[in-house]
Amino acid sequence: MSRDLRLFRLLRKSLRIEVVHLDSLRRRLERQAALPSALATPGSALELPKTPAADDLAHGQEFSATEQPAPEGLDLSKLKASLTEVDTTSAEALSTLPDVRELDENFDTAFQLSMNRGPLCAEPVIGMAYFFERVALNAEDMDISQGN
Amino acid sequence: MAPTKTQGQPRGTIQGSVQSGLVDFSIRAVPLPTDVTNFLSANMTTLKRLHRDRRSAATVDDDVAAADEVSIEGAEVVVTPEDFWPKLEQLLQKAGREWAGLADQIWAFGPRRVGPNMLIDRTEGAPRS
């Protein structure tokens, strides 16, 4: 379990928050016309509680060895167990496919950019429709923890 | 006509893949019907207004700037924000079978979210933004 992996998980979490209000552009615009301040509070993505370095059991042991004795009531073994628990869940989450939805923003941005600067001489594109027909994530082929 | 770039797919199809196969996708580019293009160019301001409503009605002082962009296509009707989607739907309906009913699948307009091009979501599953 590496730092990359944790970052990836955090990223996924924050992205999932964005993904919540996905809908057709039309319906979204209509809904938001009725509720003008619906998008005014998007900050939640940045306020994600930073999970402690829970992935690394070795880290935990290091801490337990170096830190002062735990205050009464705090059971170190229990803490360790909870840390490993987090570890396994994260591994599970990684083995499942990440949601394709997390890429929506990227596709949208790519579309906006490519429409702004066309293929011939960076001209604005006029009168094209792009049918987004299929997208698939093949995460199992990749070793995401390698960060490549 | 030249053969299609991707064998066995409709004209304009591109099958791409990024991050050495992590994500692969298929996109088909088709020219928009002229009516729709004109309608979209004429109604950039309308679209902008629709988007602006969405971003909470903050102080709107670029109405003047927006007014400059109106009526580049003099002949085209500029509709009110309320009429935008029904009118677009109607134009798409008129444009033929391939276009009918696409209004609800539009993901985005571009460039700058208001231009005369559209990205249409044809993937399975729930609709996209």
Q: In degrees to the nearest 10, what's the CA dihedral of B107, B111, B115, B121?
A: -20
Q: Which of A112, A113, A131 sits opposite B122 (nearest CB)?
A: A131
Residues of B in contact with A43 (CB under 8 A): none
The complex's ipTM works out to 0.75
| pTM score | 0.56
DSSP three-state, residue A45: helix
Q: Look at residue A123 in the predicted model and tell me its pLDDT.
A: 87
A136: left (phi over 0), alpha (psi -120 to 50) or beta: beta
Query: A17 with A45: CB under 8 angstroms?
Result: yes
Inter-chain touch A111–B110, beta carbons under 8 Å: yes
Inter-chain touch A126–B41, beta carbons under 8 Å: yes
- Looking at the complex, does the CB of residue B78 fall below 8 Å from at least one CB of chain A? no
Q: Which of B24, B55, B112 sits opposite A136 (nearest CB)?
A: B24
Query: B85 with A26: CB under 8 angstroms?
Result: yes
Residue A145 to chain B, least CA–CA distance (Å): 13
Q: Look at residue B107 in the predicted model and tell me its pLDDT.
A: 85
Per-residue pLDDT tens over the stretch B11-37: 888 888 877 777 888 888 888 888 888
Give the Cα separation of B105 and A143 in Å (integer). Answer: 34
Inter-chain touch B22–A139, beta carbons under 8 Å: yes
Instruction: Give φ, ψ of A21 to 5 degrees.
Output: -100, 55
- Closest CA in chain B for residue A115: B111
Per-residue pLDDT of chain A (148 residues; tens, 9 = 90+): 456 666 666 656 555 544 444 467 777 777 766 765 544 444 444 444 545 544 555 555 555 555 555 556 667 777 666 666 555 455 555 545 556 677 788 888 888 888 888 888 888 888 888 888 888 777 665 555 444 4
Token pair in block for residue B50 = 């629709």
- Looking at the complex, does the CB of residue A96 fall below 8 Å from at least one CB of chain B? no
Token pair in block for residue A42 = 């998007």
